[in-house]
Structure 1
């Protein structure tokens, strides 16, 4: 059995795993189908995430099938599942308040505990969710990253004819643009990369623009998904008086125009990951609808043994989601 292991930033290898421990009563073994490369995976790879630990097995976006289960597990062998890659204790004050996404003892796979890019993964069954048969693999792998957007959108009222700006068209930004469009909003998606704007145009009747082309225009809701100081500061100037902005991208700091913020009575939300399983279940319901177009968000699917090329494509910023296919095995 093989795994993708990050010894230190920029030093990823394909490593053989000789054996795994026996399953506990509440655990499942998942045989991977796909692993998705996420922006946080790239930050860990580059050494740009302060709370990352090394060495560590990479990855957290996982789709697979249950091939073995402990005696207390209700799922049947063969069940197709996605993974919740963020643990929660269920006991701290935040978990007790239903805020498991910001659990005080949270661990994140592929960041500060071993991740999911291994041919067969063992996890507690409470962290896997079965997928309906009518959600194909190429949509199912998007459930977890899409749940990030589902969670963020619950903070604001995106509806028909409201104006929504999406700042940054990485994977999360593209998903946000598709959902806002699906909900009937007038969507403007912005990015500095023309290739990303072309991808967004393929997803629906969505206006696209370089940020420099937006001169003085404001929007009811701004979704910041680029995670740069400049995009946050510029995004705040794009919010209508009385409007709202949601930050899902992350940067260390940005300047905050307090007078502008107060005088215009703006509302600013931070949003991190999701609530489980509710945001996952809502994500699945959207993806089940054939009108919800995410077909072009996935750019390439490659065998996991070609991880170096896959990470290079993802790091280039010129592609959508890059998937690693774990079904073919490895000759070593």
Structure 2
């Protein structure tokens, strides 16, 4: 079985691994179809994620088919599924409140536990969700990252009178733009990369600007998706009085304008990942709707054998989502 193996930062190889372990009663063995390369995968690759451990098999945006199952698993062999890559204990104070996304004992596959960039992998069945036939593979691989946005946008009430600014045109920024546009909001997106701006314009009636081109405008909701100091500091100044800012990017630090926040009575929300399976199920509903247009977001689908090229594309910042293809016929 072929798998990607990250020995330490920037030392990534495609190798033959040993056989998969014997599956437990609640586990399934998944034959991989697609794996999306995420920004956090790139941070792990570069050694810039503090909670990453090495060596590790990367990959957490995963779509595959069940090929083997334990005795307690109710899914059928052959079921196409996506993976929730963040574990939850079900016992800590946050899990007991239904806040599984901030479980005290959370692990994240592909970061501090082995992920799924392999031809096959094993995972507990409580972390999988069936994908209906109405959702194509190309759309299904976006369920996990879209769930981040579904979860985040619940913190603000968007409607057809809402104005929304999204700072950053990475995958999450583009998905936020697509969903806010689908919900009828008036959407403006900023990025410093003109290629990303061209890409996001393909998603619909969305204004795409360089950060310095926003002048004299304020917004009901600002979504910070770039994860850098400058976009937070600009974004917080763009919130209308009484409006809200949702942080999904992870800038290490930024200057916080306390008096502006207080005087304008704005609300700032942090939002991390999602609650499974609820946010995943909502993502599936959106992706099953033909009017929800996200086709341009997946820019490249690359055979596993060309993983180095795929990572280079993703690292360049000039593409939307780059996806690894694990299907038979792409094996060297």
Task: Work out whether the TM-score is over 0.5.
Answer: yes
Give the Cα–Cα distance (whole angstroms) in 2 for the partners of residues 181 and 34 of structure 1.
27
Q: Which residue of 2 aligns with 1:269?
A: 269
SS of residue in 1 equivalent to 2:323: strand
Q: What aligned pairs does 1:208-287 form with structure 2 within 5 A after superposition?
A: 208-287=208-287
Q: Which residue of 2 aligns with 1:143?
A: 143
SS of residue in 1 equivalent to 2:295: coil
Contact 1:190/1:197 (CA < 8 Å) preserved in 2? Answer: yes
Q: Which residue of 2 aligns with 1:120?
A: 120
Q: Which residue of 2 aligns with 1:157?
A: 157
Any unmatched runs of 5+ in structure 1? none
Q: CA shift at 1:328, angstroms?
A: 2.6
For the pair 1:182 / 2:157, whether they are aligned, the reply is: no
SS of residue in 1 equivalent to 2:220: strand
Change (3 A) 1:136 1:168: same
Give the Cα–Cα distance (whole angstroms) in 2 for the partners of residues 106 and 199 of structure 1.
34
Aligned length: 332
Q: Which residue of 2 aligns with 1:53?
A: 53
Give the Cα–Cα distance (whole angstroms) in 2 for the partners of residues 4 and 330 of structure 1.
14
Give the Cα–Cα distance (whole angstroms) in 1 for the partners of residues 107 and 266 of structure 2.
33
Q: CA shift at 1:329, angstroms?
A: 5.7
Residue deviations 1:74-118, cap 9 Å, x none?
Answer: 000000000000000000001001011010000001110111101
List structure 1 segments (4+ residues) > 2 angstroms apart after TM superposition.
Answer: 328-332
For the pair 1:97 / 2:97, whether they are aligned, the reply is: yes
TM-score of the superposed pair, with normalisation by structure 2: 0.99
Q: CA shift at 1:331, angstroms?
A: 5.4
Q: CA shift at 1:330, angstroms?
A: 6.4
Contact 1:35/1:117 (CA < 8 Å) preserved in 2? Answer: yes
Give the Cα–Cα distance (whole angstroms) in 2 for the partners of residues 231 and 275 of structure 1.
26
Contact 2:304/2:331 (CA < 8 Å) preserved in 1? Answer: no
Q: CA shift at 1:250, angstroms?
A: 0.3
For the pair 1:111 / 2:111, whether they are aligned, the reply is: yes
Q: CA shift at 1:322, angstroms?
A: 0.3
Any unmatched runs of 5+ in structure 2? none
Contact 2:305/2:331 (CA < 8 Å) preserved in 1? Answer: no
SS of residue in 1 equivalent to 2:157: coil
CA RMSD of aligned residues (A): 0.9
SS of residue in 2 equivalent to 1:291: coil
Change (3 A) 1:99 1:331: closer
Give the Cα–Cα distance (whole angstroms) in 1 for the partners of residues 45 and 167 of structure 2.
24
TM-score of the superposed pair, with normalisation by structure 1: 0.99
Q: Which residue of 2 aligns with 1:83?
A: 83
Residue deviations 1:116-170, cap 9 Å, x none?
Answer: 1011110010010001110000000000000000000000011112100011010
Q: CA shift at 1:22, angstroms?
A: 1.1
